[in-house]
Structure 1
């Protein structure tokens, strides 16, 4: 039944054009973490000359990220996750980043 709600929910323009793409960028960075790290390492090692020395790492990173950004299935996965988080927030009033934190235990 929850899946039906996720399919029927209306998303605002800012959600479809800003918030879901932001989620896609964050997830794509995680999926391309190895390439992100290689580029960051090159930049740290190259200093001012990174623009010239890190072209290959930058190109490989962009290719990985773009592959995810253009994938309609990836967009749909992120959209469904966004909708689940939105419905959960409406139900609990707790933002997803706060729900994921470990609750303190006290006796």
Structure 2
């Protein structure tokens, strides 16, 4: 009998503690993109002085990312997406990153 809900699918320790948090970090960076860009811009402009000059941008970025990392609802959202990708991989044998790539066009 197949499980139909994400809550019913057993996850391994590495999935809960490594793979889903990795997905959360990637998605949090997407959601904090303006702060990531502001920090990167500051670092490029400041060179070796970035440690001193970019404190505010770094603090703002960390605050944004941490808010997502500590959000249980965000964890559940990423968990559901991870399980969906896992089930699709088990069904097709094609990793999600390969499914998302556009097929090459012939000339």
SS in 1 for 2:104: coil
**Structure 1: 5+ residue stretches without partners:** none
CA-atom RMSD in angstroms? 1.7
Determine the structure 1 residue equivalent to 2:28.
28
* Distance in 2, Cα, partners of 1:3 & 1:64: 35
* Distance in 1, Cα, partners of 2:28 & 2:46: 25
SS in 2 for 1:10: coil
* Distance in 2, Cα, partners of 1:105 & 1:46: 43
Determine the structure 1 residue equivalent to 2:103.
103
* Distance in 2, Cα, partners of 1:5 & 1:38: 39
Determine the structure 1 residue equivalent to 2:65.
65
Q: How many residues align?
A: 106
**Structure 2: 5+ residue stretches without partners:** none
Greater Cα shift, 3-12 or 21-30: 3-12
* Distance in 2, Cα, partners of 1:59 & 1:106: 47
Deviation at 1:106, TM superposition (A): 5.0
